[in-house]
Structure formats: C-alpha cells, structure tokens
C-alpha cells in the first residue's frame, strides 16, 4: 500500500516512525520545505510544494498512492484543502490527523478570535507588551501596531512586514514552564498571542500566562475541508491505515 503522509508535525513523524518498514506499506513523508533545518521523519521524505491541488493530484496518480494522511499542522489550511480536492478527484482515501485544541482552564483569561487580523484588533485593549508566538507566518498582521512592543518567537525569521517595535527570539520548542515564566517576567509581557495549535510541545506558555494572570489572545483553527476521515492521534491514524490495507 503506497501512502503519502503530509507532514510538518510531531504526529506525522510518529506515524512515519510507526509505519515505515512495516510489511505491505510503502510510506513517503512530505514536508513543505519552509524550515531551514527541519526535523526529518524516518523513512522516505520528499520536500517542497506539489504545485497546488492539481500538482498534488498528478503526484498522487504518478506515484500510485493508495491513501493520503494529512498530518499537517492544524493551521496549514491550504494544504489540507488541496489534499481534499486531489484525493477526492482520484477517489483516494484521505485521513486528517488533528490533535485536539487547547481548553481554557480555571484561572485562564482567553480571548478567542477567528484569525490573526482579529487578534491584532483585540490587542488595542489588552496591554502594550506582547509575546507573539504564532510562528514565522502571519506576523505582518501586527505590523500596523506602532504603540505595542512585541517579543516575536519563531523557529525561523518572520516573512514580510514586522512591527516596528519588536525583539526576535529564534527558538524551537518544547519550552519548559520555568523558561516561559522567565521570559514573561524578563520582558514584562502583558499579553500573549498564540494560535490554538494544541498538543504538549508548546503549551507551557499557557501555564506560565495563567500563573502570571496574563490575558491570552487565542486564534481559532481554520475549519477542515469536507470529505475525508478525521482522527486525533498518530496511533489512531495507524489503525486507520491498517484498516484501509485490509479493505484494499
Ligand atoms: P499551508 O499554508 O497550508 O500550505 C501552503 C503551501 O505549502 C501548500 O499549498 C503547499 O504548496 C505547501 N505545503 C504545505 N504543507 C506541505 C507539505 N507537508 N508537503 C508539501 N508541500 C506542502 O501550509 P503552512 O501553514 O505554510 O505550513 C507549511 C508546513 O509547515 C506544513 O507542512 C505544516 O504542517 C507545517 N507547520 C505549519 C505551522 C503553521 O502554524 N501553519 C506550524 C508548524 C508546522 P503547493 O501548493 O505548491 O503544493
């Protein structure tokens, strides 16, 4: 069974680790190629875009792919949509792996917003010293805020416009709670802005914000495209793949 795993996440690496080398499975993991030094999954890896939904459809057909696992990040909405279109056009089974989002706990003060533009608007009433942990993309949404100061953390430098008053911190998680609490104190942070990525690799900042009594602007995930099954872990994705193999 030829399987394409669309990756860039811990779940994608876990699934590739589980499935690579298993009898009857030929697994290829795909990465966008955005990060300069990506964490590579085990097994075969291809890097770079496919050229839109049509390019992906051709790639799936050329490589005789029997199943697609979209284990991209919950905010990689374009790739998920292309996967749905391309797999749908060929009648290839598609699975989305979506880890659960984060849930507000007692003591949290979260402001949920639908997108980054709304997050930038919400900052008007929430403090001027901002810890921005939304990744490299989308920082431009905050570039018009001249009154605010931003600590911007990402793995690689942001693309496009950035706010005038900022400090860049290049780092890859996981980050321990004590380190996150230290950052909030050192930079006198008044508000945290993050995306509802879910998972345990990067949730320490939420614990630190709760302990410090800071508001959190939480950007909601984009909706998944219609079609395709959905699970929330690599283990369940592996079970789905084995079922598909039996059905084949
Ligand atoms: P996106 O906006 O959904 O996708 C933009 C384009 O990047 C796609 O149209 C596709 O190009 C290419 N692409 C994305 N994921 C790909 C993959 N796994 N393999 C091959 N091409 C891919 O994606 P994004 O938000 O830029 O994220 C890029 C990658 O980083 C994803 O793999 C994702 O899992 C990972 N990631 C994203 C975030 C985030 O917050 N967005 C966080 C952590 C990791 P073509 O149209 O040319 O095929």
pLDDT tens per residue across span 104-148:
999 999 999 999 999 999 999 899 999 999 999 999 999 999 999
What's the rounded mean pLDDT across residues 213-236?
Answer: 97
Cβ within 8 Å of residue 40, ≥6 positions away: 31
Q: Does the beta carbon of 54 sit less than 6 angstroms from any atom of ligand 1?
A: no
State the pLDDT at residue 48.
97
Cα–Cα dist 120/131, whole Å: 12
Average pLDDT, whole number, for the chain? Answer: 96
Categorize the per-residue pLDDT at 36 as very low, low, confident or very high, splitting at 50, 70 and 90. Answer: confident
Categorize the per-residue pLDDT at 34 as very low, low, confident or very high, splitting at 50, 70 and 90. Answer: confident
Ligand 1 centre from 127 Cα, in Å?
32
The pLDDT tens digits for 152-209 are 999 999 989 999 999 999 999 999 999 999 999 999 999 999 999 999 989 999 999 9
Q: Nearest C-alpha to atom 45 of ligand 1 is from which residue?
A: 49
Q: Does the beta carbon of 46 sit less than 6 angstroms from any atom of ligand 1?
A: no
pLDDT exceeds cutoff 90 at 61: yes
Q: Does the beta carbon of 79 sit less than 6 angstroms from any atom of ligand 1?
A: yes
Q: Nearest C-alpha to atom 27 of ligand 1 is from which residue?
A: 76
Cα–Cα dist 248/243, whole Å: 9
Q: How much is the pTM?
A: 0.93
pLDDT exceeds cutoff 90 at 214: yes
What's the rounded mean pLDDT across residues 63-84?
Answer: 97
Q: Does the beta carbon of 222 sit less than 6 angstroms from any atom of ligand 1?
A: no
Ligand 1 centre from 28 Cα, in Å?
16
* Spatial CA neighbour of 79 closest among 32, 124, 112: 32
Q: Which atom of ligand 1 is nearest to the CA of 79?
A: 3
* Spatial CA neighbour of 230 closest among 71, 85, 123: 71
Cα–Cα dist 180/182, whole Å: 5
Q: Nearest C-alpha to atom 28 of ligand 1 is from which residue?
A: 32
Greatest alpha-carbon span in the chain: 59
pLDDT exceeds cutoff 90 at 232: yes
pLDDT exceeds cutoff 90 at 91: yes
DSSP 11: H
pLDDT exceeds cutoff 90 at 244: yes
Q: Nearest C-alpha to atom 1 of ligand 1 is from which residue?
A: 76
State the pLDDT at residue 126.
95
Q: Does the beta carbon of 82 sit less than 6 angstroms from any atom of ligand 1?
A: yes
State the pLDDT at residue 148.
98
Element (H, E) at 61: helix 52-62
Strands (E), the chain: 2-6, 26-31, 44-47, 67-70, 94-97, 109-113, 129-133, 149-154, 166-170, 191-195, 215-219, 229-231
């Amino acid at each position: 069974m030829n399987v394409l795993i669309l990756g860039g996440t811990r779940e994608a690496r876990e699934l590739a680790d589980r499935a690579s080398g298993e009898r009857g499975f030929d697994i290829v993991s795909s990465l966008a190629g955005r990060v300069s030094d990506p964490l590579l999954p085990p097994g075969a890896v291809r890097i770079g875009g496919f050229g839109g939904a049509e390019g992906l459809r051709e790639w799936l057909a050329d490589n005789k792919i029997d199943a697609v696992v979209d284990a991209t990040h919950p905010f990689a909405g374009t790739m998920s949509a292309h996967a749905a279109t391309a797999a749908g056009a060929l009648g290839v089974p598609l699975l989305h792996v979506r880890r659960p989002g984060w849930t507000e706990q007692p003591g949290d003060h979260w402001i949920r917003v639908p997108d980054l533009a709304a997050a930038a608007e919400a900052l008007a009433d929430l403090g001027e010293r901002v810890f921005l942990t939304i990744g490299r993309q989308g920082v431009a949404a905050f570039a018009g805020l001249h009154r605010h100061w931003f600590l911007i953390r990402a793995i690689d430098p942001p693309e496009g416009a950035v706010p005038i008053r900022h400090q860049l911190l290049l780092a890859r998680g996981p980050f321990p709670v004590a380190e996150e609490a230290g950052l909030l104190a050192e930079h006198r942070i008044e508000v945290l802005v993050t995306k509802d990525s879910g998972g345990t690799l990067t949730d320490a900042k939420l614990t630190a914000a709760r302990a410090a009594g800071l508001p959190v602007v939480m950007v909601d995930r984009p909706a998944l495209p219609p079609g395709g099954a959905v699970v929330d872990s690599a283990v369940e994705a592996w079970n789905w793949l084995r079922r598909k193999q039996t059905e084949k």
